[in-house]
Amino acid sequence: MHLQILVAVVLITMMASLGKASAHELPQYCETSCGNVSITFPFGSGRPGCYHSPEFLVTCNRTHSDGPTLFYGETNIVIKNMSIITGEIEVMSYVASDCYDNGSRVLNDSYDSFLKLFKFQISTKNRFVAIGCDTYAYIQGSRKNENFGTGCISLCTNKNSTRDGSCSGIGCCEIKIPDGMSTVNLTLNSYNNHIYVSDFNPCSYAFVVNQENNHFKFSSTYLRDFGKEVRMPTLLDWAIGDETCEIASQDTKNFLCKGNSECIEEYAGPGYRCRCKQGYAGNPYLKDNCTNKNECQGGNHDCVHKCVDTVGNYMCSCRRGYSGDGRKGGSGCTVKQSLVIMIAICSLIAFILLLILVTWVYVGVKKRKVMMLREKFFKQNGGIMLQQRISKDGGSHDRFRLFTMKDLNKATNNYDESKIIGKGGYGTVYKGILSDNKIVAIKKSKLLDQTKTQIEQFINEVVILSQINHRNVVKLIGCCLEAEIPLLVYEFIPNGTLSDHIHEESKSVAVTWDIRLRIATETAGALSYLHYAASVPIVHRDIKTNNILLDDSYVAKVADFGASKLIPVDQIELETLVRGTLGYLDPEYLQTSQLTDKSDVYSFGVVLVELITGQKALNFDRPEEERSLAKYFLSSLKNGRLFQVLDQHLQLKELPNEIIQVSRIAERCLRVKGDERPTMKEVATELEGIMASVIQKHPWVQSIENEEEGEHLLKQSANYYAFTDRGSGSSSTFDSMSKQITLPAASGR
């Protein structure tokens, strides 16, 4: 048998003649507050006349242990707040509990709660909440003499399965309160008498709580002990009487909404409510208590400029010269039309004049800065010195050009990315078309030292390179000194690098041994020319297959003089910091830093080996003993395995004598000591002799025909201007710019 305890309000229904107060003045003896709760009519305490009717009676206990406490009627239901604006009071209601000890219900525990209201209703802002891990809870009630019920279930197997703040059925469940409820009965029960959860949840709890401002948030600690004396805030809706505004207003004597108050039609429950009219404030249930509200003084207005208070309202005004209703939500304050037109015209004229002036000044200043900057760079990069050198040499003046930034910007479409034909560690190469429709390669370098000595050396090298007129050397056409770093302009070689044609399988088949021998001979002749025929001997210092370009007829063109050094005629060697490409670098130069023409000889020897074997100079994908092509080739040559290392794309069934001869030349070029290596003049002479013997053995025309057979493959090659080798890390470079001048020439151009 359930033990029923009354934990909510039983409203007073006594028919005692306490009288009713109509819309009149409140007696002075009525209490207006209790503790921190204001008592506002129609609620009141004490004598008749202080409250409207018995259901609005409240009692203030000023000797309560918690201090002055306001109770509902003569019950022990505590009122925490009341509002005449929303028509609500907040009371503290009891919590129903259902506890078990070893599966047996604990006697004298409240396991249900009963709340009966005759006039007031439970607000739908409340929620019905149940707490427990073995709990099902019901809320039963009546609405207009009609009974109904609903409920929720809360289950869980352990405390860790719950989540703080969540009341969705695991340890805690909640449902909305139906509207119009005036009588409520809460009932708790258990499926297994909390046997399986008794160690952390011996009890179930249920209550109705105001959730408008999140008064209740579930915590897993509530499963152990929610508290038997806990009360929860519950919101009640109240109104005057049972009649609507229309019917109640007919009783002019007892109707409370008079004077500057009005009856609220939005209230859906029984009875009516009052509120002060717009522009008035006060208690709408008291006679003449709704008085004018000064919106201007309180800042409760939407005036743009000036607020003027009126009875029950306010007005807005605008400044002189402005018109409108003066309200933010209305037309506001706008300038009168004539003034607007005048201001607009003057402002527009002033703006246009200012814009023209600013634009003119900006363009002029910017143009002046650009001109000054270009002039600064021109002088800084040795432009005056170069002009003097060119003027002294009438021949070079006709061949070598000084380009302006405007010329090269136009040629490259302002250095558009689509014009890039090569990138590397030293800069970028662009394909350009000059005003005379000549196609050129324009190199934009990254680094250049700016000391006076190095600039002089740079100008000297540019002048010398501009005078080189060799069939197998890429021609330097001119330069531009108006940029921070000079730009060099070379002739455009369309058929890519030698590295492309011997290392890419789709191209290497077409490059026969006769073609390779001719390329080697032409390259050797070009290097011999640089070493012995130039006005000042030039050591290239970075000979590799990536720096040997091929035109459409496979004519070799030695390119990229960015690392080159001029060796005075009275010196046979020059001390520099080491620079070059791993795999091609002269080991003696690497150890001593003494640069000689024999350093180029060593690098050319590696190029010969690449032409014979078709392998890269340095490849870390090969076994350790085969990574360095030079060492691997010398070892194979020593052990009589030359045929085994030949390029398979040569498709040779036997070892031709000329390959043996070229291999011997390569072996001599690759000797560790420079003194033991031949000169480039000797190498070029020997290769020319081998070429002559090949031509005698089979006409050169046949070789040309072989070239034409592969022409459609070769013309597919990209216009490639690379600064560094690609793949397998063989492009690692020893480089120093601190003791040498570097020509910002394109690698391969």
Query: What are the sequence ranges of the domains in the chain?
Result: 33-237, 245-292, 294-335, 338-370, 381-491, 498-734
Contacts 24+ apart (CB under 8 A), 429-435: 429/721, 429/723, 429/746, 429/747, 429/748, 429/749, 431/492, 431/719, 432/408, 432/489, 434/407, 435/407, 435/410, 435/411
User: Edge-to-edge strand order for the sheet containing 134-143?
Assistant: 112-116, 183-189, 134-143, 146-155
- What DSSP line would sit under 164-207, residue for residue? TT--BSSSEEEEEPPTT--EEEEEEE-SSTTTTTTTT--EEEEE
Indicate the CATH number for domain 498-734: 1.10.510.10
Q: How many residues in the chain?
A: 749
Alpha carbon 54 to its chain centroid, in Å, reads 67
Backbone angles phi, psi at 554, to 5 degrees: 65, 25
Distant-in-sequence, close-in-space partners of 400: CB < 8 Å, separation ≥ 6: 390, 463, 466, 476, 477, 478
Cα–Cα distance for residue pair 521/526, rounded to 1 Å: 9
User: Which 8-state DSSP code applies to residue 746?
Assistant: P
Pairing of strands 565-566, 548-550: unpaired
Pairing of strands 146-155, 172-176: unpaired
Give yes or no for a contact between 305 and 288, defined as CB atoms under 8 angstroms apart: no
Give yes or no for a contact between 237 and 101, defined as CB atoms under 8 angstroms apart: no
Indicate the CATH number for domain 294-335: 2.10.25
58: helix, strand or coil? strand
> Per the residue annotation, which of 237, 542, 560, 647 is the catalytic one?
542
667: helix, strand or coil? helix
Instruction: Count the Cβ atoms, other than its own, within 10 Å of residue 629.
Output: 24
Quick one: tokens of 572? 């046979």
Cα–Cα distance for residue pair 74/69, rounded to 1 Å: 12
Cis peptide before 699 (omega within 30 of 0): no
Give yes or no for a contact between 589 and 581, defined as CB atoms under 8 angstroms apart: no
Cα–Cα distance for residue pair 140/150, rounded to 1 Å: 7
Give yes or no for a contact between 392 and 400, defined as CB atoms under 8 angstroms apart: no
- Of 60, 92, 94, the closest CA to residue 78 belongs to 92
Give yes or no for a contact between 411 and 419, defined as CB atoms under 8 angstroms apart: no
**Residues pairing with 556 in the sheet:** 550
Distant-in-sequence, close-in-space partners of 628: CB < 8 Å, separation ≥ 6: 583, 617, 618
* Exposure string for 643-663, b = 16+ CB within 10 A, e = fewer: eebbbebbeeeeeeebbebbb
The predicted model scores a pTM of 0.47
pLDDT score, position 560: 80
Cα–Cα distance for residue pair 240/87, rounded to 1 Å: 10
Does the active-site annotation cover 542?
Answer: yes
Q: What is the dihedral of CA 261, 267, 271, 275, to 10 degrees?
A: -10
Instruction: Count the Cβ atoms, other than its own, within 10 Å of residue 351.
Output: 10
User: Cα separations (Å) of 354 from 54, 194, 340, 346, 499?
Assistant: 80, 85, 21, 12, 61
**Residues pairing with 734 in the sheet:** 580
Cα–Cα distance for residue pair 702/708, rounded to 1 Å: 10
Quick one: tokens of 567? 């060796």
Cα–Cα distance for residue pair 21/295, rounded to 1 Å: 31
Q: What is the 3-state secondary structure (H, E, C) of 495-558?
A: CCEHHHHHHCHHHHCCCCHHHHHHHHHHHHHHHHHHHHHCCCCEECCCCCHHHEEECCCCCEEE
All residue ranges of the chain with pLDDT < 50 are: 1-22, 395-397, 700-749
Q: Which residue has the tokens 């009168």?
A: 336
Instruction: Count the Cβ atoms, other than its own, within 10 Å of residue 21.
Output: 25
Cα–Cα distance for residue pair 589/710, rounded to 1 Å: 40
Cα–Cα distance for residue pair 472/491, rounded to 1 Å: 12
Q: How far apart are the first and last CA of the chain?
A: 106
Q: Which residue has the tokens 């309200």?
A: 327
- Of 65, 109, 107, 72, the closest CA to residue 89 belongs to 72
Instruction: Count the Cβ atoms, other than its own, within 10 Å of residue 220.
Output: 18
Fold of 381-491: Phosphorylase Kinase; domain 1 (3.30.200)
Cα–Cα distance for residue pair 82/436, rounded to 1 Å: 95
102: helix, strand or coil? coil
